[in-house]
Structure 1
C-alpha cells in the first residue's frame, strides 16, 4: 500500500469511527496507532508500545499514527 493511500485510509477510520470515542481529556496529546486493514487501534503516550502490540497481532500489516486532539 502506498503511503498516501495508507494515510487517507487511516485518517478516514479516525474521523468516521474513532474520533468521538478517543478524543477524551485523558487521551488528548497521546498517540493512536491504527492497523488500517482491520481498523484495530491502540493508544499510549508515545505510540511505541501500541505499535509493538499491533505488529504482534498483525505481522507485516501497515500501521499509521495520529496524535489525538
Structure 2
C-alpha cells in the first residue's frame, strides 16, 4: 500500500480546499445535494460527490491516484459533528 504524503501545511490545505469549493464548485452542487460529501483534488480542482465520504474519495482517486483530497459537506460548515446537539426552537 502506498502512503501518500501531504504536499501542503494543514493551514494551506484548508485554505486551498475552501477556496476551490467556494469559487468553483459550490454553485454546481448546492441546490439538490444538501448533506452530501464533495471530495476535491486540491491540485486539479476536480471533484466527486456522494452521500458517503469513502465513496466520494474512492471515485476521485480512481481518476487521480495521487490526489490531495479535501472534503466538504454540502450546505454545512462541518463534515462531521461530535457530541450532542441543542434542539433549536423557531
The verdict on a shared fold, with TM-score over 0.5 as the criterion, is: yes
The count of corresponding residues between Structure 1 and Structure 2 is 68
Q: Relative contact order (C-alpha < 8 Å, sep 6+): which is higher?
A: 1
2:12 alignment partner, SS class: helix
Larger radius of gyration: 2
Which runs of 5 or more residues in structure 1 are unaligned?
A: none
Q: Which has the higher helix share?
A: 1
Aligned equivalents of 1:27, 1:49: Cα separation in 2: 15
**Once the two structures are superposed, what CA deviation does each residue of 1:15-51 show, in whole Å capped at 9, x if it has no partner?**
1111111101x20011111001000101111221110
Which runs of 5 or more residues in structure 2 are unaligned?
A: 1-7, 76-90
TM-score w.r.t. length of structure 1? 0.89
Runs of 4+ aligned structure 1 residues displaced above 3 Å come to none
